[in-house]
Amino acid sequence: MRFHLLGSAAGKPVPRTFCRCRVCLHALEQGGPDLRTRTGMNLFLDGDSSREPKYRIDLPPDTGHHMMAHRFNLNLLEHLLFTHSHEDHFDLLYLRHRGRLMSDRAEMPWLNIYGSAETKGEFDTWNLNLDDLRLRYHQVEPFQSFSVDEMEVFAIKGNHAPGTLHYVIRHAGKSVLLAWDTGWYEDETWEALKGLKLDAVFMECTQFGGPEEIRHSSHCNFYTLRMMRERLLEMDVILGDTPYVTVHMGDNGLLLHSERVDLAEPHNITVGYDGLELGV
């Protein structure tokens, strides 16, 4: 599997309009890793070298930017997994566009959408014509395993807003945890992870730096991120060299990308950035 990180910021993009903090000014000057937008991801299976992904996780409002910057399109997208319905992950205007295509709509594949009951509640408020837009919504329960075409997916609960799901993606003997947004996992989630063997983890870290104490809900700080990794190590779910990548990084803490890297590398944690690709 190959994971293509497209948006590594939290709810507000970096650089942020009107902001003159050191992070936003550096992003404008450098146009590099600090130029981050909101978290989304394309997923490609083994041997797929196309720029037309079949699988995607979340649909943030800057998806169009990434299509141009990273040169892919969503013409053949068939499966879309939503973590939750906050606006930085869930912009259904892109789905409405499916009804306004100038190309042959008969060539547009049906799009299967997966998410919690709470996400479906928000989805339903958009009053989309599912048949006309060729959409199907599949409600997912926490701790449910289900098939997504060639993949197996196991849903667990994030400790964020009601209905937040994280996904363990399984294919060809490999398993990867996609975990944003969250605080420290609740006991039932830790219990569900027992016995799993993960080959990589993408986990939110909205605040780098900050107090050396666990945030028990909503979002991870860097200390919570490290402690969650330590817990997974103690449970033998990951190994010391298992790739562990941060996503959903806010400007909280006012650290530049290079400064985050300096903090994270001694803990065998990779700081994510827009365009990062990881194969497992």
Ordered domains of the chain (ranges, CATH)? 2-279 (3.60.15.10)
* pLDDT at 119 (0 to 100): 98
**Could you read off the pLDDT tens digit of each residue along the chain, which spans 280 residues?**
999 999 999 988 889 888 989 999 998 888 877 888 999 999 999 888 888 999 999 999 999 999 999 999 999 999 999 999 999 999 999 999 999 888 888 888 999 999 999 999 999 999 999 999 999 999 999 999 999 999 999 999 999 999 999 999 999 999 999 999 999 999 999 999 999 999 999 999 999 988 899 999 999 999 999 999 999 999 999 999 999 999 999 788 889 999 999 999 999 999 999 999 999 9
3-state SS record for the chain: CEEEECCCECCCCECCCCCCCHHHHHHHHHCCCCCECECCEEEECCCCCCCCCCEEECECCCHHHHHHHCCCCCCCCCEEECCCCCCCCECCHHHHHHHHCCCCHHHCCCEEEEECHHHHHHHHCCCCCHHHHCEEEEECCCCCEEEECCEEEEEEECCCCCCCEEEEEEECCEEEEEECCCCCCCHHHHHHHCCCCCCEEEEECCECCCCCCCCCCCCCEHHHHHHHHHHHHHCCCCCCCCCEEEECECCECCCCHHHHHHHHHHHCCEECCCCCEEEC
